[in-house]
């Protein structure tokens, strides 16, 4: 019975719009002309606050990917302190008209350039980026601008952090920064050819369901699979989605490297300088790619968070844990510092469970402690008793977690 309720809740998160009538539940639509066509941007919240810019994954748009998450009970207290702009890739809004047959869909590099056009149109000087899948790749490209210049038959990488000052924080879910692999390209060459009609094929639907959920989630939550299939068949324009998918499958790798002695003074530099939070699920089909992306980020400015019992649909499967990770990340950037971790938040409930397990067993399970960056106090007692936790423990715990969030990897 409990599993059925959980499945229904995740299904609702995929398909339903927020029901709470607030300024964040009612989004404002802004059409913007870019050098590669029109894009629709939706705005949540008043325009006079710190800006978060989101970019969705393939098969979704700003509304279906993010609106419910930002207005959920887990995120509501955070959302009210920000202005949120959701960028929709060309032709990806709900029930969009098919793009002209003669139009050439932008590449991943060109989609990154449209993000700069959106920033200029909206007058955004700096923002926090929040991307999922394809959107995470685009926002990373935007933060690390690359152009290739042909000179005397040699290609010189002009690696410019052209837009780095505009993005000072990145929240990336299932970010793939590598280029297309030969196996991925070979297996998807024919299923993803530009379709002559506005209909789905079983091969493409099967791929997208695996891409978003992974095999384990499909097995554990068949109703979630049906909900995603229904969303793709009813809410989006199949031909437009295939165009975006083809651009992603023709992507070039993002040229960035972890800083070291050999490249720290390189010209041009190849280091992503903004603070990064990489999030994935334990059984996500993109887990290895996220690990690779995190390995190429500055370890002093990047964090890796992996959720247990979670596949690829992180926002739907683990919204509370995702909200808590984002809260700590934003506090590390100097925002919402007044917010404390609720005494009965998900992380603290997990901490209590770990402490209970320690009392019953002599085997240490430090790796199970969420945000296990605290090496003293209540986390450091083997078989300790938490009945005498001081009243200000949760406030001090928050400070310890925030201070160490940027230099530790986390598994929840």
**In this prediction, what percent of the chain has a pLDDT beyond 70?**
66
Q: Is the pTM of this model over 0.85?
A: no
Q: Which helix or strand (DSSP H or E) is residue 145 part of?
A: strand 145-151
Q: For the segment 270-314, what is each residue's pLDDT rounded down to a tens digit?
A: 788 899 999 999 999 999 999 999 999 999 999 999 999 899 999
Q: How confident is the model at residue 197, as a pLDDT?
A: 59
- For the cut 90, the answer to whether the pLDDT of residue 203 exceeds it is no
Are the C-beta atoms of 144 and 67 separated by less than 8 Å? Answer: no
* The predicted structure's pLDDT at residue 187: 64
Least confident of 174-188, 202-216, 224-238: 174-188
Q: Are 273 and 161 in contact (CB under 8 A)?
A: yes
For residue range 357-404, what is the model confidence (pLDDT) as tens digits? Answer: 655 564 443 333 343 333 333 333 334 444 454 555 444 444 444 444
Least confident of 47-51, 128-132, 316-320, 364-368: 364-368
Other beta carbons within 10 Å of 94 = 14
Q: For 331-345, write each residue's pLDDT tens digit.
A: 999 999 888 755 445
Is residue 66 a contact partner of residue 56, using CB atoms and an 8 Å limit?
Answer: yes
- State mean pLDDT over 126-148: 87
| CB neighbourhood size of 337 (10 A) | 13
- What is the model's pLDDT at position 22? 56
Q: Where are the domains of the chain?
A: 2-332, 346-411
Q: Are strands 82-87 and 37-44 parallel, antiparallel or unpaired?
A: antiparallel
Q: Kindly report which listed range (9-23, 46-60, 107-121, 241-255) carries the lowest average pLDDT score.
A: 9-23
**pLDDT of res. 357:** 61
Host H or E run for residue 293? helix 287-295
Which segments of 144-237 does DSSP mark as H helices, in order? 182-188, 202-213, 215-220, 222-235
Q: Please answer whether residues 94 and 63 qualify as being in contact, where contact means their C-beta atoms are separated by less than 8 angstroms.
A: yes
Residue range 253-268: average pLDDT?
76
Tens-digit pLDDT profile for residues 26-39: 778 999 999 999 99
Highest averaged pLDDT of the listed ranges 147-156, 208-217, 347-356 = 208-217
Q: Does domain 2-332 have CATH number 1.20.120.530?
A: no
Distance CA 283, CA 205 (A): 20
- Give pLDDT, residue 5: 53
The pLDDT of residue 163 is 55
């Amino acid at each position: 019975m409990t599993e059925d309720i959980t499945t229904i809740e995740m299904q609702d998160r995929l398909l339903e719009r927020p029901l709470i009538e607030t300024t964040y539940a009612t989004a404002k639509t802004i059409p913007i002309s870019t050098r590669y066509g029109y894009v629709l941007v939706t705005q949540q919240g008043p325009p006079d606050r710190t800006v978060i810019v989101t970019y969705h994954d393939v098969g979704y748009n700003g509304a279906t990917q993010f609106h419910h998450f930002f207005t959920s009970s887990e995120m509501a207290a955070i959302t009210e302190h920000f202005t949120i702009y959701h960028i929709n890739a060309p032709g990806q809004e709900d029930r969009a008209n098919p793009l002209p047959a003669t139009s050439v869909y932008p590449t991943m590099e060109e989609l990154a350039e449209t993000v700069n056009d959106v920033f200029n149109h909206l007058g955004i000087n700096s923002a926090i980026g929040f991307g999922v899948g394809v959107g995470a790749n685009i926002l990373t490209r935007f933060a690390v601008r690359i152009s290739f210049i042909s000179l005397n038959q040699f290609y010189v990488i002009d690696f410019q952090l052209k837009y780095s000052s505009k993005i000072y924080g990145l929240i990336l879910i299932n970010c793939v920064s590598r280029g297309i692999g030969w196996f991925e390209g070979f297996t998807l060459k024919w299923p993803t050819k530009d379709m002559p009609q506005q209909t789905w094929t079983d091969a493409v639907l099967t791929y997208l369901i695996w891409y978003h959920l992974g095999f384990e989630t499909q097995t554990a939550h068949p109703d979630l699979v049906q909900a995603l299939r229904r969303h793709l068949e009813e809410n989006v324009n199949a031909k437009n989605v295939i165009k975006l998918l083809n651009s992603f499958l023709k992507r070039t790798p993002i040229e960035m490297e972890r800083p070291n002695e050999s490249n720290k003074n390189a010209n041009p530099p190849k280091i992503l300088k903004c603070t990064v939070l990489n999030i994935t699920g334990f059984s996500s089909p993109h887990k290895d790619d996220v690990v690779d992306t995190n390995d190429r980020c500055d370890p002093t400015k990047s964090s890796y968070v992996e959720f247990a019992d979670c596949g690829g649909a992180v926002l739907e499967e683990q919204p509370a844990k995702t909200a808590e990770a984002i809260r700590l990340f934003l506090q590390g950037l100097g925002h919402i510092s007044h917010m404390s971790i609720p005494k009965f938040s998900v992380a603290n409930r997990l901490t209590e469970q770990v402490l209970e397990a320690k009392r019953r067993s002599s085997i240490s399970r430090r790796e199970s402690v969420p945000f296990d960056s605290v090496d003293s106090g209540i986390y450091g007692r083997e078989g300790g008793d938490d009945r005498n936790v001081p009243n200000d423990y949760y406030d001090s715990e928050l400070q310890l977690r925030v201070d160490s969030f940027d230099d530790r990897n986390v598994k929840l």
